[in-house]
Chain A
Amino acid sequence: MALSASPVEEEPQPGNDFRNHLATAVRSINWSYAVFWSVSSTGGPGVLTWKDGFYNGEVKTRKVTNSTTQLTADQLALQRSEQLRELHESLQLSAECGGGDHRGRPPRPVAALSPEDLGDTEWFYVVCMTYTFRPGQGLPGKSLVKKEHVWLRNAHLADSKTFPRVLFAKTIVCIPLMDGVLELGTTESTMEDPDLVNRATTPFGELQFPAACTEEPNSSPSANDTGEYSDIIVFEDMDHTAAMEAMISEVHELRKVTDECLPHANVKEVTMEINELYSICEGLDVQPLEDDWISIDGLLEVPPSPEPSPEVATDNADHTLSTPVDRYRLTSFTPWTRSDTDDVGVTATGREPQKLLKKVLSGGAWANNGGGDGSTTRTSTQESGIKNHVMSERRRREKLNEMFLILKSFIPSTRKVDKASILAETIAYLKELERRVQELESTKELSVSRPTASVLRRHGHDDEVVRSRKQVSGAKRKKGSELDAGGDRQKDQHWVRSKDGPSNVSITVADKEVLLDVQCRWKERLIARVFDAVKRLHLNILSVQSSTLDGLMGLKVRAQFASSAAVAPGMITEALQKAISSKP
């Protein structure tokens, strides 16, 4: 496979002049990195490969070299870039060498930096070195084709077609320059600024490059002022290394495939490749990779410590998603940035917010009358149906509460206001009231009985009578004429009488007609005796009304005097009384 490592290998000492220009360019606009992609013959016609770069971003660790020369900040930065490139080289070479036992391996080129020294942006920078772009592919490719600069803002949100390298840098600009493309990137989201483009490309203005040259730029290898690479760290061989290399090569393959496939949006192929990759990763028990990245995690699991510990690698591999913040993992999510509010995303303007959620919570898809057709008008009426129910339920409750209060107002001296107490006190009060009523009624009976007795007495003595007496309630009938005695006796008699059963007689005389009203406890042959008595009194019976109530017989007789002689009512009464009281 054509790796971009090849041209780099042929050029052990990249032109420091050129790099200085890159450094100046990037510093002038204060961005994070500058990379120059050059059109190289090795990759194919017009293919852009990583040529040189300058890293101006965050540095995670500063490797102190044994160099005695004091390095300026600039030089340190240059050195850093060089170190990053070297690291990349060494990784590439280890990938190239392939698997096998480590004993027979030639000593590999060493890098001043080890993988864990790098921060995220630095890693990105390293990764960039592996990329190649066909004409029109990716941002640099497009820029080359269009021969004008391409500005990509919010790169992290771009789809993988536009910008296959989903990465940190928020803003990227690619400017066609000389025989390649200058790419500048920053971790901040910046508005497009043509002036910035100009500033960046100014340093390169004076450099002369042969137009037809597809080789490395003809720059003089200047003195090595980037410091000595005297600190040597040997890459320890790992059991996993072989596997890692296989993975790296696979990733390259995959990347190429995706680079090829993406313009045609052939997701299936990509998926297949991804699946293949996953199967490899499965076997290695390491984290699966994002298709565009080198296995950064995998490399991090290869610590160049004297005691290689495969456990460390496995631990990292078993690192679960308890922190989904780990950005290099395979994820649908992208890191969040605070971008302008009118950018990106679907703003639901004018639409009802939380529409479906509200529908769910309203319980409005069904109503008392069963399911509907799903029309929205029906839904709204159903919703209002539910609301009505709720409202009526609430009204009912309020009504109940009101009535409790009213009930409370009837009860004397309750201090408690809760419903249970109100009810309990009401019950007690009602019982109390009933008892009193019973008591009163029983005493009222007695007081009521006296007036009737006196009336009857009078009646008994007074022959002129036009009195229709109200019937006392059934339980309290008394015989009238026997209440001659005093109060006590009356009472006794009353009681006595009540044992026998009450009875009373009333007579009403009007002209020739006599109305006899007899009420007494029914006894055998009572009516016969009454009629006998009536006959003896020489009264002709015109009509009879009889009724029984609770064993009490009521007789209403209309009679006429048979002869012209009127009989005294008192005598009639006496006779009747006799009749009904006589023992059978």
Chain B
Amino acid sequence: MDLPKPTSTAASSAGTETPNPHAFTCELPHSIYALAFSPTAPVLASGSFLEDLHNRVSLLSFDPVRPSAASFRALPALSFDHPYPPTKLQFNPCAAAPSLLASSADTLRIWHAPLDDLSASAAPPELRSVLDNRKASSEFSAPLTSFDWNEVEPRRIGTASIDTTCTVWDIDRGVVETQLIAHDKAVHDIAWGEAGVFASVSADGSVRVFDLRDKEHSTIVYESPRPDTPLLRLAWNRFDLRYMAALLMDSSAVVVLDIRAPGVPVAELHRHRACANAVAWAPQASRHLCSAGDDGQALIWELPETAPAPAPGAPAVPAEGIDPVLVYDAGAEINQLQWAAAHPDWMAIAFENKVQLLRV
């Protein structure tokens, strides 16, 4: 019997024509940036990013128990208009508290979003308050780059603004609790740790931790190696408050920090092939995080076990760097990544005008 001629027919290995059966996609009419999972209902809020006054927040429902392409869809009845593009959306993380949705853009807005009725006859979320800190005489209000809702103290929301300040709001009373000049340049992201402790990253390249009991002083946990390289995103591990992750501008690295050892990162994750855009910690694990970037990949990492008090300067990671454990290829630059706290199996990514629900 003749052996076959060794002509090569290498099959392509990166075909993305057939959709991954475990990724559910919802396509929306405009490009999406902000995403937020609700802690109570299986709802994902997505905010458009159009540079005008006609943006929209669409609520998408999904079925975590029996996921399917059909069950992941937009709820047009519950979608509402939003003037400026929301830079961040977040539901009230405290499940016991009334269901609210907050958005940051030119100011902080809070919406009532009961989410108990997801039918076509339900009423869309209505605006509860607009929290604006601009002075009466000034027309200009510094846009908010991000905000974070305090899980322990749900009446507290901290906002980050390009005017270098961070403002802590008491949203029940609708007043400013405090406003701190956090950095020398615009603040890009903010994250709460405990009830009165938050961290922020800025264009000045530093990660600073603030304690509301001692507003005069802040702790610099990390500074970008090349001075003044802006830090763009920050994620604080809610499950294990030791760890934070930060993203730098024009960098594919994900920097993991241990606040007990400031200055030296625990790890720098370098496996993205293009710049990283978003990072999120696993909601119920201390050493797992996911990052996504311009290479269209979402990578799940598992950090190695480190000694409780890592020796300063001694890296606890292998010399060649940590490899991610799992990868998902979206096929386009992923701009946003959110890991559902209520459904740890699920995470959502946004690229172009699509939102994808991924199962972990």
Q: Which residues of A contact B (CB under 8 A)?
A: 139, 146-155, 157-163, 175-178, 192, 194-195, 197-198, 201, 205, 209, 211, 265, 267, 270-271, 274-275, 278-279, 282, 291, 320-325, 330-336, 338, 341, 343-348, 351, 353-366, 368, 370-374, 378-379, 386, 389-390, 393
Is the CB of B137 closer than 8 A to any CB of chain A? no
Is the CB of B205 closer than 8 A to any CB of chain A? no
Cβ of A10 to closest chain B Cβ, rounded Å: 24
Cβ of B342 to closest chain A Cβ, rounded Å: 13
Which residue of A163, A201, A365, A368 has the most chain B CB atoms within 10 A of its CB atom?
Answer: A365
Is the CB of B216 closer than 8 A to any CB of chain A? no
Q: Contact string, B325-360, partner A, CB cutoff 8 A, digits 1/0?
A: 111111111010000000011000000000000111
Cβ of B289 to closest chain A Cβ, rounded Å: 11
Cβ contact within 8 Å between B4 and A149: yes
Q: Which of A201, A205, A291, A344 contacts B13 (CB 8 A)?
A: A344
Q: Which of A157, A344, A348, A373 contacts B274 (CB 8 A)?
A: A348
Give the 6 A-B residue pairs with the shortest CB-CB distance, closest first: A194-B6, A363-B143, A346-B296, A333-B326, A371-B53, A154-B13
Cβ contact within 8 Å between A198 and B3: yes
Cβ contact within 8 Å between B162 and A325: no
Assembled-state Cα–Cα distance A372/B285 (Å): 43
Cβ contact within 8 Å between B6 and A197: yes
Assembled-state Cα–Cα distance A179/B21 (Å): 34
Cβ contact within 8 Å between B143 and A366: yes
Assembled-state Cα–Cα distance A169/B231 (Å): 39
Cβ contact within 8 Å between B51 and A336: no
Cβ contact within 8 Å between B11 and A354: no
Q: Which of B6, B13, B49, B359 contacts A331 (CB 8 A)?
A: B359
Cβ contact within 8 Å between A364 and B21: no
Cβ contact within 8 Å between B232 and A151: no
Cβ contact within 8 Å between A363 and B145: yes
Task: Provide the residues of chain B in CB contact with A370, threshold 8 Å.
Answer: 53
Cβ of B88 to closest chain A Cβ, rounded Å: 8
Q: Which of A153, A205, A267, A278 contacts B3 (CB 8 A)?
A: A205
Cβ of B204 to closest chain A Cβ, rounded Å: 12
Residue of chain A at shortest CB distance from B276: A354
Task: Provide the residues of chain B in CB contact with A389, threshold 8 Å.
Answer: 140
Cβ contact within 8 Å between B325 and A324: yes
Is the CB of B106 closer than 8 A to any CB of chain A? yes
Task: Provide the residues of chain A in CB contact with B66, threshold 8 Å.
Answer: 275, 278-279
Cβ of A15 to closest chain B Cβ, rounded Å: 17
A354-B232, A365-B52 as given contacts; A160 in contact with B18, CB under 8 Å: yes
* Secondary structure dominating the interface of B: loop
Residue of chain A at shortest CB distance from B31: A356
Cβ of B65 to closest chain A Cβ, rounded Å: 8
Is the CB of B118 closer than 8 A to any CB of chain A? no
A332-B359, A347-B274 as given contacts; A270 in contact with B21, CB under 8 Å: yes
Is the CB of B17 closer than 8 A to any CB of chain A? yes
Residue of chain A at shortest CB distance from B14: A344
Is the CB of B323 closer than 8 A to any CB of chain A? yes
Residue of chain A at shortest CB distance from B9: A150
Is the CB of B87 closer than 8 A to any CB of chain A? yes
A158-B13, A359-B51 as given contacts; A334 in contact with B326, CB under 8 Å: yes
Cβ of B107 to closest chain A Cβ, rounded Å: 11
Task: Provide the residues of chain B in CB contact with A162, threshold 8 Å.
Answer: 11-12, 15
Cβ contact within 8 Å between B3 and A361: no
Cβ contact within 8 Å between A332 and B11: no
Q: Which of A345, A358, A360 contacts B295 (CB 8 A)?
A: A345
Residue of chain B at shortest CB distance from A375: B51
A360-B87, A364-B51 as given contacts; A336 in contact with B326, CB under 8 Å: yes
A153-B13, A178-B1, A321-B360 as given contacts; A335 in contact with B294, CB under 8 Å: no
Q: How large is the interface on B (under 10, 10 to 19, 20 to 34, 35 or more residues)?
A: 35 or more
Which residue of A139, A155, A163, A360 has the most chain B CB atoms within 10 A of its CB atom?
Answer: A360
Assembled-state Cα–Cα distance A372/B51 (Å): 7
Cβ contact within 8 Å between A152 and B145: no
Q: Which of B53, B70, B326 contacts A325 (CB 8 A)?
A: B326
Q: A336-B323, A365-B84 are in contact. List 9 more A-B contacts (CB 8 A).
A: A162-B12, A195-B6, A345-B14, A345-B297, A348-B295, A354-B277, A358-B232, A361-B145, A364-B51
Cβ contact within 8 Å between B13 and A151: no
Assembled-state Cα–Cα distance A364/B104 (Å): 14
Q: Contact string, B155-198, partner A, CB cutoff 8 A, digits 1/0?
A: 00000001100000000000000000000011010000000000
Task: Provide the residues of chain B in CB contact with A332, threshold 8 Å.
Answer: 20, 22-23, 328, 358-360
Cβ contact within 8 Å between B335 and A357: yes
**22 sample A-B contacts, Cβ–Cβ < 8 Å, listed by A number:** A152-B13, A163-B11, A177-B1, A192-B10, A270-B21, A271-B21, A321-B345, A331-B359, A331-B360, A332-B22, A333-B298, A333-B327, A334-B327, A356-B333, A361-B87, A361-B162, A363-B162, A365-B51, A365-B85, A366-B84, A371-B52, A373-B52
Cβ of A364 to closest chain B Cβ, rounded Å: 7
A154-B13, A336-B324 as given contacts; A347 in contact with B273, CB under 8 Å: yes
B39-74: which have CB < 8 Å to A? 49-53, 65-66, 68-70
Cβ of A379 to closest chain B Cβ, rounded Å: 5
Assembled-state Cα–Cα distance A192/B49 (Å): 45
Is the CB of B284 closer than 8 A to any CB of chain A? yes
Task: Provide the residues of chain A in CB contact with B36, threshold 8 Å.
Answer: none
Task: Provide the residues of chain A in CB contact with B53, threshold 8 Å.
Answer: 366, 370-371
Task: Provide the residues of chain B in CB contact with A366, threshold 8 Å.
Answer: 51, 53, 84, 105-106, 143
Task: Provide the residues of chain B in CB contact with A320, threshold 8 Å.
Answer: 284, 344
Is the CB of B83 closer than 8 A to any CB of chain A? yes
Cβ contact within 8 Å between B326 and A335: yes
Task: Provide the residues of chain A in CB contact with B68, threshold 8 Å.
Answer: 271, 274-275
A157-B14, A344-B14 as given contacts; A322 in contact with B233, CB under 8 Å: no
Cβ contact within 8 Å between A159 and B273: no
Cβ of A165 to closest chain B Cβ, rounded Å: 13
Assembled-state Cα–Cα distance A370/B52 (Å): 9
Cβ contact within 8 Å between B327 and A324: no
Cβ contact within 8 Å between B4 and A176: yes
Cβ of B23 to closest chain A Cβ, rounded Å: 4
Q: Contact string, B222-250, partner A, CB cutoff 8 A, digits 1/0?
A: 00000000001100000000000000011
Cβ contact within 8 Å between B142 and A363: yes
